[in-house]
Amino acid sequence: MKRVVLCLAVILLLPSFAAAFDTKDVGVVCSCDPPGTLHPPGFDCRALCAPRSGGSSQQGGGGSSYSTPSYDYDAERQHQLNVEKQLQQEIEKQRKVDEEAAALKQEEFERDKRNALNNMKGAAEGELGLKSDDNGGGLKEIGDSSVLTPQDKKKPYVKNLDIDIVKVQPGVSNPAQLRRKLLSNFPNTILNRTDQPNKQAQEILRSFKTKEPPSPIKNIADLAPGDVILVAAWPWKDRNKAGYSEVAKSIGINFMDQWGSNNWSSPASHAAIFLGERNGKRWYMDNQVKGGPVIKEEKDFLKEYGARKMDIATLVGQPLSKHEGEELWKGAHELRNTTTYWPSKVSHAGSNDPGMVCSESSRWLLMRAGRRVLETQSENAKILGIDTGLNKKQFIDFSPSDFYENEQYFVIHQLGTQRKGK
């Protein structure tokens, strides 16, 4: 019985095993197919893999049409070329913009350099009495008989040299003797000058070499004796902090100075002068409406004016010598003891002293130290273009605006009050 059942099972399952191992039913894989592709049994690979034109192939002369998708490398390459071309155009456009900006900056710098050289040339020839040779070839060279040398120290003056070219401050009892003394010590005077570093000249020389304009800011730590601090008027927005009267007073002084000078760009309403360092402290002469001339320590000066914008007017040429610095210091004490705050050209009852305003006292101290600063050259004030007949020279000799206008005497910088290294 068992054998009969087994035979029947084999007979029933035999067709299934035959179908499973029949290779015709597995499917067809063509050589041109991507991996994993399987076609139905009986599929003709020749029609699919045979070369075809136009991206299609006919099977059996008129049967089905087959096409294979392809990636368009030419279109992608053209797109990349277009992107690169556009990028190059943008780079070239930006380069031209940068070149134009650099050319404008260089042109402005060259113009400022020429103006500075012209101003310095005028100051050198006019102030120092320097003369060119007969051929116009510059200053007389060493060895010229009219030039003092260290070997001439024993001579009171060189033959045929006009000693009257040496400027002596009015009031000296024996001007001729003082001129001879100065000329006899002329070589040492030159040597002493060369020992002093001239930071202003070094900065200008650096700008010429690097073709970059000098820094517009002068740090308070770099102030030299004789530097004039020009304090701007209070802005109206600070009226609550500074007080209405102080703000109005400073704005009023600045407006009258601008109008009287016909210089509407001058921001200053007050002027003071740096006296130098003594006993480890830095000092300023500040001539105020209240109290007159006062010698202030730097911390007190900044406490009063540090919240306002300030500029610095620096003398063109060599800084004050040690002797000139001493005269500046002595002159400040003279002002403090003898002068009041008052316009010098306006008489005031109860005082024989003509008085000075802040800018006049700063100019006077520079002249007291031996420097020449011309008084104001302003024309008459005008209203709507009509001459009023009023001139600030009727009231004062010098105003804050004149420091900005006298380019042959002063270089203007912004004052930076932040200490270096802080």
pLDDT (tens digit per residue) in 54-112:
444 444 444 444 455 566 778 888 888 888 888 888 888 888 888 888 888 888 887 77
Tens digit of pLDDT for each residue in 177-186?
777 776 666 6
Selected residue with higher pLDDT from 355 and 212: 355
Between CA 28 and CA 224 the distance in angstroms is: 100
**Residue 136 confidence (pLDDT):** 44
**Residue 313 confidence (pLDDT):** 93
Confidence band for 157, pLDDT divided at 50, 70 and 90:
very low
Average pLDDT over residues 212-217: 68
Identify residue 8 by its one-letter amino acid code.
L
Check if the beta carbon of residue 250 is closer than 8 Å to that of residue 233: yes
Confidence band for 197, pLDDT divided at 50, 70 and 90:
low
> SS in 3 state form for the chain?
CHHHHHHHHHHHHHHHHHHHCCHHHCCECCCCCCCCCCECCCCCHHHHHCCCCCCCEECCCCCCEECCCCCCHHHHHHHHHHHHHHHHHHHHHHHHHHHHHHHHHHHHHHHHHHHHHHHHHHHHHHHHCCCECCCCCCECCCCCCCCCCHHHCCCCCCCCCCHHHCCCCCCCCCHHHHHHHHHHCHHHHHHHHHHCCCHHHHHHHHHHHHCCCCCCEEEHHHCCCCCEEEEECCCHHHHHHHCHHHHHHHHHHHHHHHHHHCCCCCCEEEEEEEEEEECCEEEEEEEECCCEEEEEEHHHHHHHHCCCCEEEEEECCCCCCHHHHHHHHHHHHHHHHHCCECCCCCCCCCCCCCCECHHHHHHHHHHHCCCCCCCCCCCCCEECCEECCCCHHHCCCCCHHHHHHCCCCEEEEEEECCCCCC
Q: Does position 368 have pLDDT exceeding 70, yes or no?
A: yes
Between 122-126, 172-176, 276-280, 289-293, the lowest mean confidence (pLDDT) is in: 122-126
Q: Does position 199 have pLDDT exceeding 90, yes or no?
A: no
**Residue 131 confidence (pLDDT):** 44
Burial of 109 (0-12, 13-18, 19+ CB in 10 A): middle
Tens digit of pLDDT for each residue in 231-248?
999 999 999 988 999 999
Check if the beta carbon of residue 215 is closer than 8 Å to that of residue 259: no
Check if the beta carbon of residue 207 is closer than 8 Å to that of residue 199: no
Q: Does position 366 have pLDDT exceeding 70, yes or no?
A: yes
Average pLDDT over residues 4-8: 62
Of 400, 399, 228, 375, nearest in space to 314 by CA = 228
**Residue 139 confidence (pLDDT):** 41
Q: Does position 156 have pLDDT exceeding 90, yes or no?
A: no
Domain parsing of the chain, residue ranges: 123-195, 217-416
**Residue 359 confidence (pLDDT):** 95
Q: Are strands 281-288 and 65-66 parallel, antiparallel or unpaired?
A: unpaired
**Residue 216 confidence (pLDDT):** 74
Q: Does position 10 have pLDDT exceeding 70, yes or no?
A: no
Average pLDDT over residues 284-310: 94
Selected residue with higher pLDDT from 42 and 161: 42
In percent, how much of the chain has pLDDT > 90?
29
Q: Which listed CATH number (3.40.190.10, 3.30.200.20, 3.90.1720.10, 3.40.50.720) goes with 217-416? A: 3.90.1720.10
Identify residue 171 by its one-letter amino acid code.
G
- Listed in sequence order, the residues at least 6 apart from 19 whose beta carbon sits closer than 8 Å to its beta carbon are 25
Selected residue with higher pLDDT from 279 and 408: 279
Confidence band for 377, pLDDT divided at 50, 70 and 90:
confident
Average pLDDT over residues 6-28: 56
Check if the beta carbon of residue 270 is closer than 8 Å to that of residue 250: yes
Whole-Å CA distances, 262 to 96, 258, 265, 353: 41, 6, 9, 29
